[in-house]
Chains A and B, each alone.
Chain A
Amino acid sequence: MTTTTTLGYDDLPALLQRLTGDEKHDWSSLSTLDVVWVLHDRVLEEGDRFFLSKGHGPTATYAVLAAKGILPPELLDGFGTFDSPLGHHPDRLLVPGIEISSGSLGHGLGMAVGSALAGRRVYCLVGDAELEEGSNWEAVQLAGRMELATLTVVAIDNRSSSHGWPGGLEARFALEGWDATRVDGHDHDALAGALSRRSVRPRLVVAEVEPK
């Protein structure tokens, strides 16, 4: 993973506009944009992996990859067309910087456990609604038991889970042996601090954003 910055955070709106054709100026409503930016700008180190498990709405990730020089920006223009590598769910064989093909929910965390078992530092982005899928909890339980300290889950919480998480996601992960914390999903310093912290256990960072 390269960390050479070619464009900045302020350039993301123009890149997103190339993807979607949308001319809006406030892209903060994209729930994942700040988290994906902070990860690529300040957290990920050479050899680390980023798994976008919540594969729907990948435009924020495409834009960040383009800003970071991982994805040629000219690829943004044909988004979703037959000959474009960029679709509504990402394909790891088509897009540089996309490390898992996702879009069906509840797959990334299991793959992240496999990657962490092999000694890799891996960051897996999930959504609070995605965590409804039972497959996630198989991974959460094993990662806790095996103390997979190189695994970090960042859960975007826009309260889109239809039946909710009474008591909070943090309590559920903590019970399984994870370090768990909650930060403002748009606060870059808070995100960078929480995501960069090292631990002897797997870590959950809940990034709270506006309710969907």
Chain B
Amino acid sequence: MMRPRFYELVREELDASERLAVVTAEIGTTPIGPHPRHFNVGIREQLMIGVAAGLALEGYRPVAHSYAPFLVERPYEFLKLDLGHSDLGAVLVSTGASYDASREGRTHQAPEDVAALAALPGWTIHVPGHVEEMELQLRRAFAGDDRVYIRLTEETNHARVDGDGGLIVLRRGSPGAPLALAVGPTLAPLLEAVADRDVTVAYLTTVRPFPRAELRDALGDGTEVVLVEPYLRGTSSAAVSAALEDRPHRLLALGVRNEELRHYGTGSEHRAAHGLDAAGIRSSLERFLG
């Protein structure tokens, strides 16, 4: 469970480092507990980002935390200007991801968050697929001065993948085989979907900056790329195209559909409805690869 572990780690860091400051906007962060450098500004998300930028200006390492739509979308221009344009650093940690808040409805879902943030320069974006990967990325973010987004989710892979978040080849297909690239928690259903296929399987959790050279290396002589992202479909399509701009290729981008689902229910029902469970991915692969 990423969210409770995040609260534990933030609390430990608040106690261990005088540099860390936490800014929240009424998000049920009781587990962090009261602390002189934990500022709950109330339900004021624009203020949350402004305050984080001010703390960064004063030498603190701010961590801002809320549901993804209230952390990225509502105060978007404040991210662009107060942090980005001002060249100030912060760690944004979201919860809810694309459809973890399935019963809460559209207001609490943000499949667009990565695409929106990726449109702004200078952000490192982590999409961990396992709690231990999140822990590594969070600890590194605490120690930095840059702008980092960490996207927590209730979806999880079966085990952590060792590495630093960059692109890792987990399974090598025959020369020229298609490359299937899983981002974060899409790895588990992807592995199930390609169990009997000759494909190279790679894994990525740090999606920005996008690892162009590593993608080319993983693809080798292949010409087909299957990109599976747990947020808005096609978010990294342009990055893949840019990485392969000098060579003919075909790309299948899977992810959360842009059309509104307009259903409540469970996260796994949403995953299936977007074609992101193993059966959905398998079906898309059959259409694309034959």
Q: Which residues of A contact B (CB under 8 A)?
A: 55, 80-84, 86-91, 93-94, 101-106, 129-130, 132-134, 161-163
Instruction: Please report the C-alpha to C-alpha distance between residue A91 and residue B262 in the assembled complex, in whole angstroms.
Output: 8
- Interchain CB contact under 8 A, B40 and A162: yes
Q: Does B42 contact A (CB under 8 A)?
A: yes
A-contact bits for B102-145, CB 8 A (1 contact / 0 none): 01111110000000000000000000000000000000000000
- Listed from nearest, the 7 A-B pairs whose CB atoms lie closest are A82-B265, A103-B107, A87-B264, A132-B43, A132-B42, A104-B107, A89-B105
Q: Does B74 contact A (CB under 8 A)?
A: yes
Q: Does B263 contact A (CB under 8 A)?
A: yes
Instruction: Please report the C-alpha to C-alpha distance between residue A105 and residue B106 in the assembled complex, in whole angstroms.
Output: 13
Most chain B beta carbons < 10 A, residue from A82, A84, A94, A103:
A82
Instruction: Give the Cβ gap from B112 to chain A, nearest Cβ, in Å.
Output: 14
Instruction: Please report the C-alpha to C-alpha distance between residue A55 and residue B104 in the assembled complex, in whole angstroms.
Output: 10
Q: Which residues of B contact A (CB under 8 A)?
A: 26, 40, 42-47, 69-70, 74, 103-108, 262-266, 269
Instruction: Please report the C-alpha to C-alpha distance between residue A130 and residue B26 in the assembled complex, in whole angstroms.
Output: 11
Smallest CB gap from A106: residue in B = B43
- Interchain CB contact under 8 A, B266 and A82: yes
Instruction: Please report the C-alpha to C-alpha distance between residue A175 and residue B106 in the assembled complex, in whole angstroms.
Output: 35
Asked if A134 meets B264 with Cβ closer than 8 Å, knowing A89-B104, A101-B107, the reply is no
- Interchain CB contact under 8 A, A101 and B106: yes
Q: Can you list 26 A-B contacts (CB < 8 A)?
A: A55-B107, A80-B264, A81-B264, A82-B263, A82-B265, A82-B266, A84-B264, A87-B105, A89-B104, A89-B105, A89-B106, A90-B105, A91-B262, A93-B262, A101-B106, A101-B107, A103-B105, A103-B107, A104-B69, A104-B108, A129-B26, A130-B43, A132-B44, A133-B45, A161-B42, A162-B42
Smallest CB gap from A90: residue in B = B105
Instruction: Please report the C-alpha to C-alpha distance between residue A103 and residue B26 in the assembled complex, in whole angstroms.
Output: 14
Instruction: Give the Cβ gap from A91 to chain B, nearest Cβ, in Å.
Output: 6
- Interchain CB contact under 8 A, A105 and B43: yes
Most chain A beta carbons < 10 A, residue from B43, B45, B46, B47:
B43
- Interchain CB contact under 8 A, B104 and A103: yes
- Given the complex, which residues of A lie within 8 Å of B262, measured CB to CB? 91, 93-94
- The majority secondary structure among interface residues of chain A is loop
Complex partner residue of A134 from B26, B40, B44, B69, CB under 8 angstroms: B44
Asked if A89 meets B265 with Cβ closer than 8 Å, knowing A134-B44, A161-B42, A163-B42, the reply is no
Instruction: Give the Cβ gap from A77 to chain B, nearest Cβ, in Å.
Output: 13
- Interchain CB contact under 8 A, A89 and B107: yes
Instruction: Please report the C-alpha to C-alpha distance between residue A82 and residue B264 in the assembled complex, in whole angstroms.
Output: 5
- Interchain CB contact under 8 A, B103 and A88: yes
- Given the complex, which residues of A lie within 8 Å of B104, measured CB to CB? 87-89, 103
Complex partner residue of B105 from A91, A106, A162, CB under 8 angstroms: A91
- Interchain CB contact under 8 A, B42 and A89: no
Instruction: Give the Cβ gap from B98 to chain A, nearest Cβ, in Å.
Output: 16
- Given the complex, which residues of A lie within 8 Å of B103, measured CB to CB? 80, 87-88
Smallest CB gap from B270: residue in A = A82
Smallest CB gap from A103: residue in B = B107
Beyond A86-B264, A89-B105, A133-B43, 10 extra complex contacts between A and B, CB < 8 Å = A81-B264, A84-B265, A87-B103, A88-B103, A88-B104, A93-B262, A103-B108, A104-B69, A134-B44, A162-B42
- Given the complex, which residues of B lie within 8 Å of A161, measured CB to CB? 42
Instruction: Give the Cβ gap from A125 to chain B, nearest Cβ, in Å.
Output: 16
Instruction: Give the Cβ gap from A89 to chain B, nearest Cβ, in Å.
Output: 4
Instruction: Please report the C-alpha to C-alpha distance between residue A161 and residue B25 in the assembled complex, in whole angstroms.
Output: 11
Instruction: Please report the C-alpha to C-alpha distance between residue A67 and residue B26 in the assembled complex, in whole angstroms.
Output: 33
Smallest CB gap from B45: residue in A = A133
- Interchain CB contact under 8 A, B269 and A88: no
Instruction: Please report the C-alpha to C-alpha distance between residue A105 and residue B107 in the assembled complex, in whole angstroms.
Output: 9
- Interchain CB contact under 8 A, A80 and B44: no
Instruction: Please report the C-alpha to C-alpha distance between residue A201 and residue B201 in the assembled complex, in whole angstroms.
Output: 65
Instruction: Give the Cβ gap from A140 to chain B, nearest Cβ, in Å.
Output: 15
- Interchain CB contact under 8 A, A102 and B107: yes
- Given the complex, which residues of A lie within 8 Å of B42, measured CB to CB? 129, 132, 161-163
